[in-house]
Amino acid sequence: MDLDARRVLYACQGRSGSALFEFKAFLKAKGADPAKVQAFTCDMGPAFLGGIAQAFPQASVTQGPLPPCGPSDKGGR
């Protein structure tokens, strides 16, 4: 979710870790630098969390009853 524009950047089906690699490819295709993703808020399971750790190792993860996963990224649009 783009918090400034209040819009969803990307949505996917399922809860597998591969969804994060698809999101990373999406960012690259749009000209954004995935390395600029700094944080995720997430209430997903272990596979999804593992995908975040593998695809976005620089990003921190905050878990809780928050919206389904969205990056907190101010510079990677």
Q: Where are the domains of the chain?
A: 18-72
Q: Is the pLDDT of residue 75 over 60?
A: no
pLDDT of 2 higher than 90: no
Res. 77 pLDDT band, cuts 50 70 90: very low
Side chain identity, residue 77? R
- Structure-block tokens of residue 67: 């919206």
**Residue 28 is encoded by which pair of tokens?**
């690259």
Round to the nearest angstrom and report the end-to-end CA distance of the chain.
11
Using a pLDDT cut of 70, give the percent of the chain over it: 78
Given this model, what pLDDT does residue 54 score? 95
**Over the chain, what is the mean pLDDT?**
80
CA dihedral 8, 11, 17, 20 (to 10 degrees): -50
